[in-house]
Amino acid sequence: IYDSFTITVLMQLEDLGFCKKGEGGRFVADGNLISGVGRLPFNTDGGGLCNNHPANRGGITKVIEAVRQLRGEAHPAVQVKHCDLALAQ
């Protein structure tokens, strides 16, 4: 998910229905986005801050990470166990 600013992430989590409006901050603070332990592993490729933002943070890098997760080919530290669904936005 595009993470240009903190508020962008919170708004997208709420707009996509992962949490209720106004509860994005609590959702994140509760650890829900942490790879390997959270219920919604998020930007497992490091997101925009760690993956060529802004020059190459277009859609294709998100799709590549989603496919790696689905194939079980992501880095072991961030591979989501039993991944059968991915969102590239």
Does the residue 83 lie in any domain?
no
Does the residue 46 lie in any domain?
yes
pLDDT in the model for residue 26: 97
Q: pTM of the predicted model, to two decimals?
A: 0.76
| Whole-angstrom distance, CA of residue 23 vs CA of residue 39 | 16
Q: What is the pLDDT of residues 9-66, one digit of tens each?
A: 999 999 999 999 999 999 999 999 988 788 999 888 888 777 766 555 567 888 899 9
Task: Work out how many domains the chain is built from and give that number.
Answer: 1
Q: Which domain holds residue 34?
A: 6-71
Does the residue 11 lie in any domain?
yes
Concatenate the DSSP letters of all residues of the chain into one string: ---SSHHHHHHHHHHTTSS-TT-HHHHHHTTTT-TTTSSS---TT-HHHHTTTTTT-SHHHHHHHHHHHHHT-S-TTTPPTT-------
Does the residue 12 lie in any domain?
yes
